[in-house]
Chains A and B, each alone.
Chain A
């Protein structure tokens, strides 16, 4: 069991009457699993991811990794942020961004080169090492973020709607690339999205969250399909329609 979330509730400090964003969430993520957190916007799925990352602490309950309680960020959990620019170091080249974690951890030169080369190859950025990140397209920026995470070889890869700001073609291409990276590195991946097709293209298991506040896990769906996902497969189509109905209920709750 890579991640174990038990009875977790969360409210932001100083929130009015401590309105709960999450209430009594229970979830376990298996080693090496590709898990999707799916839900309407504002349902607290990013909040749950931030609790796993250790950026925030639960108001009650606990989040454990390999049995140990998570008390803060750590290099065993990598993170890819949704925003294209704010998480990258724009004064550094692509390679320096990817090597940032290796350098601060004093990884020796040849080892560092090896690990960053490998990460850059996996995201197909070989040949762009010397560019500054603001010379890159949105899709390439997200690949730099992914490579920066991969270079550290974290046990768990956390991704917060990393492709939401990209165009449909780039998004689809990166989804394919991400699946092949995941199959190569064999690490646990937890991926937040509001896009049902993206969830079905990537995940082995899809966890649907109810609308917030006091969000919780509504249903879980296994996706018993091989990669790359065939969007015409009857199982895929069935899941797509079930999930659509299920999520629509939650969206309606918010809007009515």
Chain B
């Protein structure tokens, strides 16, 4: 299986192929940066598109002022805590909703009504309810994470093939055993995918919330850069969002491959 070979390179040939794959990506990024630098220096007004080097010096300046790492840390804290708590609440709920029709009917109207209300629309309300501190921001990330994970988890349960449950019944499994040993593992792939989508969604929410109602974080950095006409700082914020988004997604993919490997075999490959 090709997938298998890529996951665990064993022969020198496979290691080579893997490395050359990484090099293609590295070269692609370097070429991109050089093209950007040239275009920004010679063809476009730096007010609209600053060069890579000036963004870099902008970042150095922010570090010297001692605020950059704080912005990064606080944004990541809000994202990760909100994402983790949201998932912890959503997974059991999704499993129950998927398994028991009465529970589904009980929650369905709320879930399908609320999930169309973006966290952004609730930002001010949450600030009023939960204060201007971290609680309201974490809760907003939880809110946006929760719906995605609940729906994906429940979908995973509902789409578990009937034959698996029937087979377990002919093998003498009790309903409780079927739930834990068949339904839950069978739903892991869609839980995993749901959480990956929710993680990306968390970045979206936190940036918007920080722009609207925060005194710190990468969203705040981007928003305030406007006030100082520092488009290079704005690009630093934008770049860091992309970078940390990529990093957390990569981390999630590695968790999928190494801890959940046998449950999410295909899902964790892209």
Contact = CB atoms under 8 A, between A and B. Distances in A.
A135 interface: yes
Interface string A135-148: 10000000001001
Contact of B166 (A73, A75, A135, A152): A73
Contacts of B1: 135
A53 B170 contact: yes
B173 interface: yes
Contacts of A5: none
A152 B172 contact: yes
A146 B185 CA distance: 22
A86 B161 contact: yes
B169 A89 contact: no
A74 interface: yes
Interface in A56-75: 72-75
B177 interface: yes
Interface of A: 53, 55, 72-75, 77-79, 81, 83, 86-92, 100-101, 104-105, 132, 134-135, 145, 148-149, 152, 154
A79 B167 CA distance: 7
Interface in B98-135: none
B11 interface: no
A135 B4 CA distance: 9
B8 interface: no
Contact of B163 (A72, A86, A104, A134): A86
A91 B263 contact: yes
28 contacts: A53-B166, A53-B170, A55-B166, A72-B169, A73-B170, A74-B172, A75-B170, A75-B172, A79-B167, A81-B167, A86-B161, A86-B164, A87-B164, A87-B166, A87-B167, A89-B185, A91-B185, A91-B262, A100-B168, A100-B181, A101-B172, A104-B171, A104-B177, A104-B181, A105-B171, A132-B265, A135-B1, A145-B167
A74 B170 contact: yes
Nearest to A104: B173
B163 A132 contact: no
A23 to B, nearest CB: 25
Contacts of A91: 185-186, 188, 262-263
Interface string B178-191: 00011001101000
Given A89-B185, A91-B262, A135-B1, A148 B171 contact: yes
A90 B171 CA distance: 16
B183 to A, nearest CB: 11
Categorize the interface residue count of chain B.
20 to 34
B161 A79 contact: no
Interface of B: 1, 4, 161-164, 166-174, 177, 181-182, 185-186, 188, 262-263, 265
Given A91-B185, A104-B177, A134-B265, A75 B171 contact: yes
Contacts of A148: 167, 171
A101 B171 contact: yes
Contacts of A154: 170
A73 B169 contact: yes
Given A75-B170, A104-B172, A104-B173, 10 more contacts: A73-B166, A73-B169, A74-B170, A86-B161, A86-B163, A88-B164, A89-B186, A92-B262, A101-B173, A145-B167
- Kindly list the 3 A-B residue pairs having the minimum CB-CB distance in the complex, ordered from nearest: A101-B171, A75-B172, A73-B169
Contact of A87 (B163, B174, B263, B265): B163
Contacts of B265: 90, 132, 134
Contacts of A104: 168, 171-174, 177, 181
B86 to A, nearest CB: 25
A88 B177 CA distance: 16
B119 to A, nearest CB: 33
A89 B165 CA distance: 10
A46 B95 CA distance: 31
A103 to B, nearest CB: 8
B95 to A, nearest CB: 16
A81 B263 CA distance: 22
A86 B181 CA distance: 15
Contacts of A74: 170, 172
Contacts of A135: 1, 4
A89 B182 CA distance: 7
B5 to A, nearest CB: 12
A179 B213 CA distance: 74
Contacts of A145: 167
B171 A132 contact: no
A81 B170 CA distance: 11
Contacts of A86: 161-164
